[in-house]
Amino acid sequence: MNLPETATIIEVGPRDGLQNEANFVPTEQKVAFIQSLFNSGFREMEVTSFVSPKWVPQMSDAAEVMEYVSHYDKTIVLTPNQRGVEAALQAGAKSVAVFLGVSSTFNQKNINRTTEEALKGLHPVIKELKMQGIFVRACISTAFHCPYEGAVDPDDTLALCQAFYEMGVDELSVADTIGKATPKESFALFSKLKEELPGILLTAHFHDTRKMALANIYAALLAGINRFDSSAGGLGGCPFAPGASGNVATEDVVYMLHEMGIETGINLDSLVKSIDIIKPYVSRELSSWYYREHQKA
Ligand code: HMG
Ligand code: MG
């Protein structure tokens, strides 16, 4: 078995985790959550998104959040367009995540654009970001399955990844948006991407709707991936992907990796305290195994 000695966890709870919450989480609590997470050892984190507040009201305080957290190592902000990039840079962002699904129906629902239209729009945006020395991450949604179109052809996923690769992005975060992929699909896609796109940072982003995310992470590890997005407390979900549940819970991923001897640099006790901070403000039950066990202790 060829497993890595270390893995990088990109915490996406403050963004993916909170964007889908029923109620607006006060800015102060978001900032306290982010600060506590950074103090738990994370080095890369999606902290907010610069998107239309009409579409995603939960992220409407992106600029305020950045005032308090933009100085951390690698605060990543998500944005779909030029307007968002301008606001992100003004707020001090040094790492920007653009996002696009493989499936056009999903993109119409999520960003009101087809895949082709959005890709064309992002091309000059990415070029400009790279000229300014900004780290660019491209998040690829519906890489396996689409809530509207069903199974996605892996060749279409590869083609979209290839398009971003050729635009010069630094990282691809490849997502199972609705948590439907199997370990077999995870291994096959990540093996293919590793082979076809040498030199780029490849990250796996699993939602846990069908409780297969940990198995999918293990399959991705076997395919040579050692970067994983996850969300503290298992919060998360895309408001425009019906049926999607939260991201895989960070604490369960970190526990699994540590038990396998794969270091992450994250302190689990401190991570649990970070989840305690946000718990009173979220509507869903936090059902990760590790967090529940800790509550009992
Ligand atoms: P639209 O209505 O087609 O755009 O929305 P528009 O250009 O006509 O603009 C509409 C309004 O939004 C205008 O304001 C714009 O100025 C404003 P108005 O004139 O009506 O007052 N606007 C913005 N405001 C702030 N920041 C911006 C911005 N852009 C326009 N960047 C748009 C198109 C893309 C803006 C909209 O559809 C949108 O914001 N969508 C975001 C959806 C979203 O955030 N989804 C969740 C993130 S993706 C995800 O979770 C998946 C991921 O986790 C991976 C996975 O799991 O799959 C990454
Ligand atoms: Mg997601």
Q: What is the pLDDT of residue 265?
A: 98
**Blockwise average pLDDT, block size 10, the chain, 297 residues:** 94 96 96 98 98 97 98 95 97 97 97 96 97 97 97 98 98 98 98 97 97 98 98 92 91 98 98 96 90 79
Protein residues with CB under 6 Å of any ligand 1 atom: 16, 19, 49-52, 54-56, 79-81, 83-84, 87, 99, 110-112, 139, 141, 175, 177, 205, 207, 238, 240
Mutate to test the pocket of ligand 1, among 20, 51, 171 (most ligand atoms within 8 A of CB): 51
State how far Cα 5 lies from the chain centre: 22
Please, what are the domains in the chain?
A: 8-296 (3.20.20.70)
Q: Which ligand is nearest to the CA of 240?
A: 1
Shortest-distance atom of ligand 1 to CA 139: 58
- State the pairing for strand pair 201-206/171-176: parallel
Q: What is the pLDDT of residue 297?
A: 56
Q: Rounded to two decimals, what is the model's pTM?
A: 0.97
Distance 45 CA to ligand 1 centre (A): 20
Nearest residue by C-alpha to atom 9 in ligand 1: 52
DSSP state of 42: -
Nearest CA to 66 out of 93, 99, 35, 96 is that of: 93
Nearest residue by C-alpha to atom 42 in ligand 1: 110
Residue 166's CB is within 10 A of a number of other CB atoms, namely: 10
Radius of gyration of the chain (CA): 17
Q: Which ligand is nearest to the CA of 139?
A: 1
Catalytic site includes residue 238: yes
Q: What is the pLDDT of residue 237?
A: 85
Shortest-distance atom of ligand 1 to CA 101: 57
Nearest residue by C-alpha to atom 46 in ligand 1: 238
Say how many residues make up the chain. 297
Q: What is the pLDDT of residue 296?
A: 58
Nearest residue by C-alpha to atom 30 in ligand 1: 52
Judge whether 260 and 4 are in contact, CB under 8 Å: no
How do the residues of the chain divide into helix, strand and coil, expressed in percent and rounded to 5?
45, 20, 35
CA gap 164, 151 in Å, rounded: 22
Phi then psi for residue 204, to 5 deg, are: -105, 135
Going by C-beta distance under 8 Å and a sequence separation of 6 or more, which residues neighbour residue 158? Answer: 192, 193, 196
Shortest-distance atom of ligand 1 to CA 173: 54
